[in-house]
Structure 1
């Protein structure tokens, strides 16, 4: 505050502020966040404002805050809107916006004239509470009569298109009073109670008078009708009560002008005068996760008002502002030492206490301007001043500057972002940027959304959807909870509950434990123990499979580290889940017979050594995410056989891998095989043919010669996976399927407008097979439309496939698989045989036989 004062940014201002009558304090703009608004239903009222000198003619006005009618000063119209003069069956002639007539009027009525809004400007009318002493006094002092004023913000979507203006009860109304030289009638005290001068309303709460206001208006002939109206209304972020707007004297920090030019054109001199641009530079210095956080913060900085820093409370940060009642000068004290130096009385009473009320209030200083004793203002500070100074105060900025410089700025800040862009993030940025001479308070900011119950609502005990942490940890498991949190999209609200937890456990925790249990069970049966040596299978196909899973682990290690380096736990979990799927559903499944066989040969030893190595390194990767399960596995896999190993998995350095050493050819080859096998099974499923039923042939098309060679090399693997007798690789996709391209009308229509028919024609002229290949590979299509070149993505185009006769087809990622679905008697008999084998094996299992 002292720095702001020295720069001339601190000032005392009179303004109409959101006010909590229950808490007895104003609410600053950045505390009125979206989350502070609640959906409520109020009784709104349509009111006649009779026009001066015109019998039974009136403006028809609508308001959702009847308590403010006691302070009406003007009526605002949209100068460019069209208004109508309406003859009503009740004997009155009303003026209101043409678009609002049907939604506002009841009974029979007739439009007798139309006029622009600017024609109404200057009309005088009789207010609904002109008899009140407070209103009469304010109007007499200003020599004023109620009149119609222009306001470009007036619309006709709601209400009548004529807005009741009460400058003492609304922020926008107060600004209009400055522009139009209107008197201000302020009705409420700090408790939301009507003050003297408002007759029958005196001593009553603004929240409780609506019904009586309606009756009074009706008795005096101003009432037209009332209407229940649902809308979003501001509430106190602390106590939850509805706010009112009240004219108050508060203290502000001037956040500076917003220049009418691109930010990059703002000069250093202009930036020095405007605090908001200095904060914007600090926002630029940080990495924001998710990235939209940057845009939200910048949007707030462009649109924020001056920062109201005072509160009419007792407990809190005592604002070090000393305002002289004699000459009007004020001074801001910047430190305890300065206060002691300037004190002329009360220091002894304050000494030894923290700078809070009542002790600090005992101290008076000499006015720097006139020399008179001055006491501190009674206001305390906005709590976000306390919260936002953390980057300075906690690092001993004032007492140990070298220590502060060592740790500032923070490497990482994490907070749930609803509201914080306008609260803590903003306060932190503003104060730290000022105190650190333009250096922002953090290098990285990670924000996340809100936790909701499984039913999509907030958790409340009374609703029966709240889950207490210890209960969730006991029933769901702490590691399941951690994986659920880590794998969620931070920018989206997370639904938390036992069904979601069960799905998380099924998706990852149980498959992980199954792989671990598979290894442990067979290793114990065979008495296998790790000896630190690398074993290589004498079967080339198995040796390649072992090498692949190790390379796949290294690839995953690199991907996970890359994601965590930018605090993206969601992407890290996606890589880890994908690896577990490959480990469980490809490596272990294709290696099972190596563990089952009785011979303790080199091939079996290689399988054990490979899976052991992969499991140990994998749990190290997983340890920060699921620390308890991985610790259990580590103690059994490592510590039980090596007492010299680190005591805990968490004592290991996080795994690393060399990107240059990756065998990318092997990775691509096996990835192609997995994709092809998956598509082959999908094609069978689409024809409702179970996997145990052998088929004659699968034909595959891929894009490159290298991929064709890889498939031929892995043909034996694919025949097993798809359960076919033969794999045939074809060069042209047209041998397998016919493609048809269709425009996504929902997307392309709005996107291209009048150009859409030409885009559709150009799309239909493409080679459908080649276009489909590009789209499936994640590439875009380039079209020439007239003199323009347009690009279409996979979201813009619908690709339909039509299989050729006797086949079932599946296609993805540039791979197309067609399986021959013709069943010969021989194939059918072999399918029966496999069914019998399966049934016998199930019976043996049920009987407890190995």
Structure 2
């Protein structure tokens, strides 16, 4: 059949008068699917058009830019393209040419904006031939550093397979292409500058002068054809928007008029854009134009990132109802929360966005940072702390160990953040700031130092605490300023600018923090790191034994195969004892005296790797000494086990080690240590635990009653004799912690020689007029009735 001519179903239409049809071969047609014969329409399909060029077939473009059939198509003329399917089928049936009609479900392109079905329309456009630019563009691409790294391969892949670049659009507004095509001789003139256009103009310059080079003004200018002298009008097309975008490295730097200025700023240090689509759009456009003009890369670094989705990971669309508008998000979420979410996200992966996700970001980082600032501001205001006064300056070497440690960590953080930003890794920088703010500053430094701020004496120790926390917060405000500018500004203004009129007007006008190596104590950081591990294991052991931290315990023993780690713990034993509420810490030579171990394979790691061999490894592990395996895991050493299929090497992360306690003890395992708690309780320990319970109950009642943190109070309470003895035995501690000027046991409000006030309902208890408050609190298993009242004096 190939080469034979045939009669077409619409040969009578004038639009195809003189057009003959013949059968051609095509490797895209397969007899295994359908009939093996298709009818092509070169003016209505990309592949069909390409095939027509190879076979020199006639091309008929049936529709205009509105999707309406033009002249020469009989009854179809003037009809919308999506409304003619049924009339065409009826016409074929009337001619006896319709063999069968049936519905066929298949994929079809739709408009991404409005979901309207799309059709292919053949139009004339302007292209730049890219073959000669391919290699220079690839060379320039390789001279650029891409973040993420896979960007280089993606861009090179696009360049290897790119077609000629279509630079025109059938639109009204846009970059006016300076192309003048002579209708008489076909010559094409391209105008290179506004000056050249003025020199070549034969009419219309006056109408254009003073306007930007856009329609309608530029279309007023006519030039003479350089070949035949005919008056020529600019083509109607405008430039593809990416053509315009690619000129940025030249148009914004005055390339044509001030080359020296352009050279000073070219190429750009960095550009940033979402990578889906940009490899063949903006990145491509700038690479192409820079390679063509100066054979150099337009930018040195590209920081690219993936797409933003809704909270379920789905694309956002107005029509789907899941789009979140910026103004709405800014008002309801807050721009700093949004910026922090974006900064901490892995740029390689799509970012899910929505209220539950931003609420979690606010809870996990923004609030701890703000609460740390609020804690300082509250107590500094009470004590009238002024960081500019000389008497409030304590040399770092003279400050307590926690002060020296947090300053060391602060400068290590500065080093990490600067390195991450230099590597174009804002996510790494953000996560480092999070860890410092949450784990080190808020949950450890501030929590362990609260009493230094609470105490009434304004001594050097309190000044050192204020000075240290002030330095941390003001440095943090500068460190996070590029990420969360508004919160950073608020902290800076309140802590720095308000007390130092010579300080920069804004945090954004200060120098970015520089790390001071002299402030970094590597040995102390290493010691505190192991202390935090031991503390974490100690809390886990308490939780396992179901003994709250307020209940003192006699002893914590610590084991590690590395004696240096034990020395680290002993150097900072006071911190561990206070945090875990134990009376003593001792090294443990043999954890087997108190602890036995259970070893389990980590199925998440070993299951995919070993498959059916996992059962053999499990059996081999059961024959080894669990204590020795636990010691190897704690030391970070691999373990070799023998199976019927040969030896298998297991890394520490391949195994799960469970510490099994003996009666009267609780144990927990850290990465490098094992801790054992003595859980036996003596009467003295129980009594102290009750006193701590009493303090906790009174502190909670103070908050419910609305007392300020600096208000002194009188405490009256009625309790069982055992509770009374416990509180009396620790009277000094109880009164100091609760700011009590008087502590009256087995009494009632009337015992304070005051008239019992009128009762008013309040939160949690009863608020009594004149600042009195009555409530029930729990001490151990006992219920205690307390009444709080304002202190007649402000000192204990």
TM-score range relative to shorter protein: 0.7 to 0.9
Q: CA deviation at 1:815?
A: 2.6
- CA deviation map 1:460-519 (0-9, x unaligned): 677766655555545544433443343333444444444444333322233223323333
Match of 1:188 in 2: 63
Match of 2:543 in 1: 685
Q: CA deviation at 1:773?
A: 7.9
Tell me if the contact between 2:599 and 2:621 (Cα under 8 Å) persists in the aligned partners: no
Structure 2: how far apart are the matches of 1:799 and 1:155?
Answer: 59
Change (3 A) 1:844 1:193: closer
Greater strand percent: which structure?
1
Highest RCO, 1 vs 2 (Cα 8 Å, sep ≥ 6):
1
Q: CA deviation at 1:667?
A: 0.9
Name the SS for the 2:502 alignment partner.
Answer: coil
Name the SS for the 1:149 alignment partner.
Answer: coil
Tell me if the contact between 1:132 and 1:199 (Cα under 8 Å) persists in the aligned partners: no
Q: CA deviation at 1:666?
A: 0.8
Change (3 A) 1:335 1:148: same
Q: CA deviation at 1:590?
A: 1.4
Structure 2: how far apart are the matches of 1:532 and 1:411?
Answer: 44
Say which of 10, 17, 22 aligns to 1:144: 22
Whether 1:610 and 2:468 are equivalent positions in the alignment is: yes
Match of 1:202 in 2: 77
| RMSD, aligned CA | 4.6
Tell me if the contact between 2:606 and 2:614 (Cα under 8 Å) persists in the aligned partners: no
Whether 1:305 and 2:163 are equivalent positions in the alignment is: yes
Tell me if the contact between 2:538 and 2:677 (Cα under 8 Å) persists in the aligned partners: no
Match of 2:658 in 1: 801
Equivalent residues, number: 700
Match of 1:739 in 2: 599
Whether 1:592 and 2:470 are equivalent positions in the alignment is: no
Matches within 5 A, 1:27-176: 130-133=9-12, 141=19, 144-145=22-23, 149-151=26-28, 165-176=40-51
Whether 1:655 and 2:513 are equivalent positions in the alignment is: yes
Name the SS for the 1:412 alignment partner.
Answer: strand
- CA deviation map 1:43-67 (0-9, x unaligned): xxxxxxxxx9xxxxxxxxxxxxxxx
Tell me if the contact between 1:684 and 1:819 (Cα under 8 Å) persists in the aligned partners: no
Q: CA deviation at 1:318?
A: 2.8
Match of 1:118 in 2: none
Further displaced range: 592-601 or 336-345: 336-345
Change (3 A) 1:638 1:822: closer
Tell me if the contact between 1:538 and 1:603 (Cα under 8 Å) persists in the aligned partners: no
Structure 2: how far apart are the matches of 1:617 and 1:689?
Answer: 39
Match of 2:486 in 1: 628
Structure 2: how far apart are the matches of 1:254 and 1:757?
Answer: 63
Match of 1:521 in 2: 378
Matches within 5 A, 1:233-312: 233-235=109-111, 241-256=116-131, 273=132, 275-312=133-170
Matches within 5 A, 1:456-605: 469=326, 472-530=329-387, 531-532=389-390, 543-581=400-438, 582-605=440-463
Say which of 660, 664, 677 aligns to 2:522: 664
Q: CA deviation at 1:242?
A: 3.9
Name the SS for the 1:614 alignment partner.
Answer: helix
Structure 1: how far apart are the matches of 2:688 and 2:280?
Answer: 70
Tell me if the contact between 1:133 and 1:198 (Cα under 8 Å) persists in the aligned partners: no
TM-score, normalised with respect to structure 1:
0.70
Change (3 A) 1:166 1:810: farther
Match of 1:48 in 2: none
Tell me if the contact between 1:676 and 1:815 (Cα under 8 Å) persists in the aligned partners: no
Change (3 A) 1:793 1:659: farther
Change (3 A) 1:684 1:376: same
TM-score, normalised with respect to structure 2:
0.74
Structure 1: how far apart are the matches of 2:91 and 2:324?
Answer: 50
Match of 2:569 in 1: 711
- CA deviation map 1:210-254 (0-9, x unaligned): 34455556774433521444x4625267x7644321233221112
Tell me if the contact between 1:700 and 1:815 (Cα under 8 Å) persists in the aligned partners: no
> What residue ranges of structure 2 are gaps of 5+ in the alignment?
708-712, 714-738, 740-796
Tell me if the contact between 1:556 and 1:576 (Cα under 8 Å) persists in the aligned partners: yes
Further displaced range: 702-711 or 802-811: 802-811
Structure 1: how far apart are the matches of 2:281 and 2:144?
Answer: 17
Change (3 A) 1:340 1:624: closer
- CA deviation map 1:641-679 (0-9, x unaligned): 333333333332222113465211111111221122123
Change (3 A) 1:225 1:821: farther
Q: CA deviation at 1:768?
A: 8.2
Name the SS for the 1:737 alignment partner.
Answer: strand
Name the SS for the 1:647 alignment partner.
Answer: coil
Tell me if the contact between 1:314 and 1:380 (Cα under 8 Å) persists in the aligned partners: yes
Q: CA deviation at 1:577?
A: 1.9
Q: CA deviation at 1:197?
A: 4.9
Match of 2:733 in 1: none
Name the SS for the 1:226 alignment partner.
Answer: coil
Q: CA deviation at 1:588?
A: 1.7
Match of 1:638 in 2: 496
Structure 2: how far apart are the matches of 1:441 and 1:317?
Answer: 21
- CA deviation map 1:391-413 (0-9, x unaligned): 11111111111121122222332
Match of 1:83 in 2: none
Match of 2:744 in 1: none
Tell me if the contact between 2:488 and 2:507 (Cα under 8 Å) persists in the aligned partners: yes
Name the SS for the 1:584 alignment partner.
Answer: helix
Further displaced range: 216-225 or 661-670: 216-225
Whether 1:222 and 2:99 are equivalent positions in the alignment is: yes
Name the SS for the 1:378 alignment partner.
Answer: coil
Name the SS for the 1:641 alignment partner.
Answer: coil
Tell me if the contact between 2:411 and 2:520 (Cα under 8 Å) persists in the aligned partners: yes
Change (3 A) 1:649 1:329: closer
Whether 1:415 and 2:278 are equivalent positions in the alignment is: no
Structure 2: how far apart are the matches of 1:658 and 1:199?
Answer: 84
Name the SS for the 1:413 alignment partner.
Answer: strand
- CA deviation map 1:358-401 (0-9, x unaligned): 55445555555566655443322212222221111111111111
Change (3 A) 1:416 1:193: same
Matches within 5 A, 1:373-392: 374-392=232-250
Structure 2: how far apart are the matches of 1:319 and 1:539?
Answer: 70
Change (3 A) 1:190 1:675: same
Tell me if the contact between 2:591 and 2:674 (Cα under 8 Å) persists in the aligned partners: no
Q: CA deviation at 1:710?
A: 0.5
Further displaced range: 770-779 or 829-838: 770-779
Which has the greater radius of gyration?
Answer: 2
Whether 1:432 and 2:290 are equivalent positions in the alignment is: yes
Change (3 A) 1:161 1:620: farther
Change (3 A) 1:414 1:705: same
Structure 1: how far apart are the matches of 2:584 and 2:311?
Answer: 49
Q: CA deviation at 1:550?
A: 1.0
Match of 1:335 in 2: 193
- CA deviation map 1:292-323 (0-9, x unaligned): 43343333323332111122334333322333
> What residue ranges of structure 1 are gaps of 5+ in the alignment?
1-51, 53-121, 257-272
Q: CA deviation at 1:683?
A: 3.7
Name the SS for the 2:125 alignment partner.
Answer: strand
